[in-house]
Structure 1
Amino acid sequence: MSPRSAQVNQEMREQSQQRILEAALMAFAERGYEGTTIAQIAERAGVARGLVSYYFPAKEQLLQALLGQALAGFLALTDPAEDEITPDQRLAGCINRTLTSAAGTIGIQRLVLCLMLQPGTREIFVGVEAAQAEVVGELERRLRAIFAERGAENPALEEVMFRSVLEGVVFKMAVYPQTYPLAAVRHRLLTMYGLPAGDPPDEPVQPLRAM
């Protein structure tokens, strides 16, 4: 049997790392960051504990990798589709992709929000943002370019407000996943920015209840 090629070995390493990261994400979501051990992550991933430590010598590095993936995912949501040529189309695409993605990954969104706010992990999150300065900077640049093309007097402020609104929506979705009126909020967001939104949804908006 011929030895595996370097490319195959690299692909296997990447698959192992991703399996470990997915297991860590689920474990952190269930037990919290502080309450999760490397042994529990290894068991969930179906790998030896030593393999987890080989790729991620400390639990903090697992968290850093997960947050780095989350930031990269946020940036990808600003990638325009082929038919999104005008700034209005690109902005509408950002809104729709962000809300759709958040709705399909509520568990991940809730975990990221917790990591951002918990005292034990807040410093790690800040450190990841600093290490991912290029990604964060590119996200800001893309959004500010959209608002500049739309004729905003202060594109930087518009970018901050836009991200604040979206982050607030995602936060509420994570807290009230069963009752949050996503369709109505999506329609309101689009109309708030003067974007085509179609007819408003028919379903009535109910008061949000505690989880």
Structure 2
Amino acid sequence: MSPRSAAVNEELRRRSRERLLQATVELVGERGYEATTLADIADRAGAARGLVSYYFPGKRQLLQSAVHRLMHKELEAALEREPRTEDGRELLARAIDSVLGLAREHPRLMRTHMAGILTAEGFIQCPEQQRLAYLLRETVTRYGSRDPEADYRLLRALMMGAVVAILLPGAPMPADRLRSELFQRYGLDWELGMPPGAKPPPPGL
């Protein structure tokens, strides 16, 4: 049997890494961070335990990469959904809705992710985060930004703040109110993107 080519080996490594990331999203969403072990993740992914350490220095880094992959894939799907568009305002609305949607649909996972970013490990620059950043920069560029890097960073900060506000234990803010505030900040009509209702919430609610 002839040895596998470098391209085949690279594809196998990519698939193994993606299975680990997907398993992490599933297990942390189901059980929580502390109740999920690296062995659990490897078992769910059908991989050897040592493979986790080969790709990731620790569980927190693995979780950040896994959540960034989820965010990247959700954002990409939102931007490319039918009807396809090049309208920068519609694309920005879709981007905001996709991130707020993750807070509603995956609260345990996103709360754990945000908590990890605020700990000593901080914000990890991984390939998945870089793909997410690229999509967001492209979105603000199409929206008409003259300084995409600065505007991307501002958009990221505003959306992270909204996610924290939605998930804040004991004092959460309504997602539709936060959406309305973000849309007003960027001059977006409520009907753009994926509106949660026919009209924005009344002021003060």
Could you say which residue in structure 2 is the equivalent of 1:144? 140
1:183 paired to 2:172? no
* Bigger mean CA deviation after superposition, 97-106 or 22-31: 22-31
Aligned match for 1:65, one of 62, 66, 73: 62
Could you say which residue in structure 2 is the equivalent of 1:82? 82
- State the secondary structure of the residue aligned to 1:195: coil
For residues 40-95 of structure 1, the C-alpha deviation after alignment (integer angstroms, 9 at most, x for no partner) is x47xx6899xx652432478444433322222232231433222331111111111
Query: Structure 1 residues 85 and 177, CA, compared in 2 at 3 Å: closer, same or farther?
Result: farther
Query: Structure 1 residues 202 and 89, CA, compared in 2 at 3 Å: closer, same or farther?
Result: same
> TM-score, normalised on structure 2?
0.66
Cα-Cα RMSD? 3.9
Q: Following TM superposition, by how much is the alpha carbon of 1:131 offset from its aligned partner in structure 2, in angstroms?
A: 4.7
For residues 125-144 of structure 1, the C-alpha deviation after alignment (integer angstroms, 9 at most, x for no partner) is 52xx1455742552343133
Could you say which residue in structure 1 is the equivalent of 2:49? 53
Could you say which residue in structure 1 is the equivalent of 2:28? 25
Does the aligned pair in 1 maintain the 2:190–2:200 contact within 8 Å?
yes
* Bigger mean CA deviation after superposition, 21-30 or 101-110: 21-30
Query: Structure 1 residues 196 and 28, CA, compared in 2 at 3 Å: closer, same or farther?
Result: same
Q: Distance in 1 between matches of 2:132 and 2:169?
A: 28
Query: Structure 1 residues 56 and 144, CA, compared in 2 at 3 Å: closer, same or farther?
Result: same
Task: Give the structure, 1 or 2, with the largest relative contact order (CA under 8 Å, sep 6 or more).
Answer: 2
Paired residues, number: 181
Q: Distance in 1 between matches of 2:139 and 2:19?
A: 35
Query: Structure 1 residues 25 and 88, CA, compared in 2 at 3 Å: closer, same or farther?
Result: same
Could you say which residue in structure 1 is the equivalent of 2:187? 194
Q: Distance in 2 between matches of 1:134 and 1:160?
A: 13
Does the aligned pair in 1 maintain the 2:93–2:188 contact within 8 Å?
yes
1:114 corresponds to which letter in structure 2?
A
Could you say which residue in structure 1 is the equivalent of 2:5? none
Q: Distance in 2 between matches of 1:155 and 1:57?
A: 35
How do 1:115-134 residues align onto structure 2 when only pairs under 5 Å count? 115-119=116-120, 121-122=121-122, 125-126=123-124, 129-132=125-128, 134=130
For residues 171-198 of structure 1, the C-alpha deviation after alignment (integer angstroms, 9 at most, x for no partner) is 1112147741211221222232121115
Unaligned runs of 5+ in 2: 1-11, 192-198
Structure having the higher Rg: 1
Does the aligned pair in 2 maintain the 1:24–1:62 contact within 8 Å?
no
1:200 corresponds to which letter in structure 2?
P
Q: Distance in 2 between matches of 1:186 and 1:19?
A: 28
1:158 paired to 2:151? yes
2:135 corresponds to which letter in structure 1?
L
Q: Distance in 2 between matches of 1:19 and 1:162?
A: 26
Q: Distance in 2 between matches of 1:74 and 1:22?
A: 11
